[in-house]
Amino acid sequence: MTATLLRGRLLGFVRRPEGIDDRDAYRYEDDGGLLIENGRIVAVGTYAEVRAATPADADEIDHRPCLIMPGFIDTHVHFPQMQVIGAYAANLLEWLNTHTFPEECRFVEPEHSARIARHFYDEMLRHGTTTAVAYCSVHKASADAYFAEALKRGMCMIGGKVMMDRNAPQGLLDTPQMGYDETRAVIEEWHGKGRNHVAITPRFAITSTPAQMEMTAALAREFPDLHVQTHLSENDEEIRFTAELYPDAIDYTDVYARYGLLGPKSLFGHCIHLSEREADAMSEAGAVAVHCPTSNLFLGSGLFPLKALSRREKPVRIGLATDVGGGTSYSMLKTLDETYKIQQLLGERLNPFESFYHMTLGNAEAVSLEGRIGTLDAGTDADLVVLDASATPAMALRMEVVRSLADELFLLQTLGDDRAVREAYVAGKAMKTGL
Contact residues toward ligand GUN (CB under 6 A) are: 78, 92, 96, 100, 203-204, 231, 234, 295, 323, 326
Which entry of ligand GUN, Zn ion, none binds 204, CB below 5 to 8 A by partner kind?
ligand GUN
Cα gap 416→315, rounded to integer Å: 30
35: which strand partners?
5, 43
Which entry of Zn ion, ligand GUN, none binds 253, CB below 5 to 8 A by partner kind?
none
Of 327 and 362, CB closest to ligand GUN: 327
Of 96 and 150, CB closest to ligand GUN: 96
State the CB neighbour count (10 A cutoff) for residue 429.
14
Which entry of ligand GUN, Zn ion, none binds 234, CB below 5 to 8 A by partner kind?
ligand GUN
Of 182 and 234, CB closest to ligand GUN: 234
Q: Which of 37, 74, 149, 323 binds Zn ion (CB under 5 A)?
A: 323
Cα gap 201→191, rounded to integer Å: 14
Which entry of ligand GUN, Zn ion, none binds 424, CB below 5 to 8 A by partner kind?
none
- Residues with Cβ within 8 Å of 14's Cβ and at least 6 positions away in sequence, in order, are 24, 25, 26, 27, 361, 375
Task: Specify the 3-state DSSP secondary structure of 43.
Answer: strand
Phi and psi for 148 in degrees, rounded to 5?
Answer: -65, -40
Name the minimum Å distance from CB 255 to ligand GUN.
13
Of 68 and 306, CB closest to Zn ion: 306
Nearest to 291 by CA among 277, 275, 308, 276: 308
Name the minimum Å distance from CB 191 to ligand GUN.
23
Name the minimum Å distance from CB 172 to ligand GUN.
11
* Strand positions, DSSP E, 182-309: 196-202, 227-232, 266-270, 288-291
Of 229 and 413, CB closest to Zn ion: 229
Interacting span for Zn ion (CB under 5 A) from 232-240, 280-288, 322-330, 393-401 = 322-330
Name the minimum Å distance from CB 89 to ligand GUN.
11
Tell me if 255 sits within 8 A of 268, measured CB to CB.
no
Cα gap 377→159, rounded to integer Å: 25
Which entry of ligand GUN, Zn ion, none binds 203, CB below 5 to 8 A by partner kind?
ligand GUN
Q: What is the β-pairing status of strands 384-387 and 421-426? A: antiparallel
- Residues with Cβ within 8 Å of 52's Cβ and at least 6 positions away in sequence, in order, are none
Of 92 and 395, CB closest to ligand GUN: 92
Name the minimum Å distance from CB 323 to ligand GUN.
5
Name the minimum Å distance from CB 309 to ligand GUN.
19
Of 82 and 151, CB closest to ligand GUN: 82
Name the minimum Å distance from CB 13 to ligand GUN.
28
Name the minimum Å distance from CB 326 to Zn ion.
6
Of 121 and 135, CB closest to ligand GUN: 135
Interacting span for Zn ion (CB under 5 A) from 36-44, 220-228, 250-258, 318-326 = 318-326
- Residue span 259-278 as binding mask against Zn ion, x where in contact by CB under 5 A, dash where not: ----------x---------
Q: In this structure, what DSSP letter does residue 370 have?
A: B
Of 29 and 238, CB closest to ligand GUN: 238
Q: Residue 44 belongs to what H/E stretch? A: strand 40-46
Which entry of Zn ion, ligand GUN, none binds 92, CB below 5 to 8 A by partner kind?
ligand GUN
Q: In this structure, what DSSP letter does residue 23 have?
A: G
Nearest to 164 by CA among 153, 156, 172: 172
For Cα atoms 426, 432, 434, give the angle at the middle one, nearest 5 degrees: 125
* Strand positions, DSSP E, 71-195: 72-78, 129-135, 157-160, 162-163
Write the DSSP assignment of 380-392 as a string of letters: SB--EEEE-TT-S
Name the minimum Å distance from CB 304 to ligand GUN.
13
Of 136 and 431, CB closest to Zn ion: 136
Report if residue 176 touches Zn ion, rule: CB under 5 A. Answer: no
How many CA atoms does the CB half-sphere of 246 hold within 13 Å? 24
How many CA atoms does the CB half-sphere of 74 hold within 13 Å? 33
Cα gap 104→96, rounded to integer Å: 10
Name the minimum Å distance from CB 302 to ligand GUN.
12
- For ligand GUN, which residue has the nearest CB? 326
- Contacting residues toward Zn ion, per CB under 5 A: 269, 323
